[in-house]
């Protein structure tokens, strides 16, 4: 497989993590650079690791990922996004914040990397070595996620509490997109 194709796949896979990073960055008040690195490492690490797992699992895993993966991603993203919206509207919280701990980021990293698991299965079926694609996917996702946190942080300072609503809507939209792609493809 050509590197240009691998790079395009990596960019496509990084888009969900980028959008989520913007959402999380919008709630940051301090430690922007630190959280950009943390988000980049978590999202990039999961996006790099999931294709390897998919590749190792091969075709046997394809049916499980194809059936349940999109539903799991949809549920995680809608629950987290819905909570962000509800708390921002009620004003009883700062919405889900990266500062609340790595558990939020971990859930989001899993939810946004499930499609990378399926890509890994595809690489196995195509008999494509996984090392270069996994490294490329991880590096691209790291860069996009870190940049997303920084952009989201700048956006959040301008929008204030409304950023929590926008971030929640983005997460719900990503979840719906994943589900609709699964149902109608």
Does some domain include residue 10?
Answer: no
Nearest to 11 by CA among 120, 110, 141, 122: 141
pLDDT in tens, 86-101: 766 776 554 446 766 7
Is the Cβ–Cβ distance between 112 and 17 less than 8 Å?
yes
pLDDT in tens, 158-183: 766 666 677 678 768 877 887 888 78
Does some domain include residue 9?
Answer: no
Q: What is the pTM of this model?
A: 0.75
Does some domain include residue 92?
Answer: yes
pLDDT in tens, 46-56: 999 999 998 98
Does some domain include residue 141?
Answer: yes
What's the structural domain count of the chain? 1
Q: Which residue has the tokens 């349940």?
A: 68
Those residues with Cβ within 8 angstroms of residue 43's Cβ, 6 or more apart along the chain or in another chain = 14, 17, 20, 21, 105, 108, 109, 112, 113, 141, 142, 145
pLDDT in tens, 108-145: 899 888 888 878 887 887 778 999 999 999 999 999 99
Which residues form the domain of 72? Answer: 32-184
d(CA 78, CA 70): 12
Does some domain include residue 41?
Answer: yes
Does some domain include residue 5?
Answer: no
d(CA 115, CA 97): 24
């Amino acid at each position: 497989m050509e590197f240009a194709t691998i790079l395009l796949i990596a960019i496509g896979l990084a888009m969900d993590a980028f959008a989520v990073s913007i959402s999380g960055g919008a709630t940051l008040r301090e430690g922007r650079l630190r959280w950009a690195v943390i988000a980049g490492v978590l999202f990039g690490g999961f996006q790099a690791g999931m294709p390897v797992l998919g590749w190792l699992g091969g075709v046997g895993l394809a049916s499980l990922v194809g059936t349940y993966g999109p539903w799991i991603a949809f549920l995680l993203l809608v629950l987290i996004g819905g909570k962000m919206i509800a708390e921002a509207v009620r004003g009883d919280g700062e919405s889900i914040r990266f500062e609340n701990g790595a558990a939020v980021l971990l859930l989001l990293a899993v939810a946004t990397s499930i499609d990378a698991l399926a890509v890994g299965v595809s690489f196995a079926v195509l008999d494509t070595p996984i090392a270069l694609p996994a490294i490329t996917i991880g590096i691209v996702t790291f860069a996009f996620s870190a940049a997303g946190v920084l952009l989201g942080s700048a956006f959040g300072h301008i929008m204030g509490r409304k950023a929590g609503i926008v971030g929640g809507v983005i997460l719900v939209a990503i979840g719906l997109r994943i589900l609709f792609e699964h149902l109608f493809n």
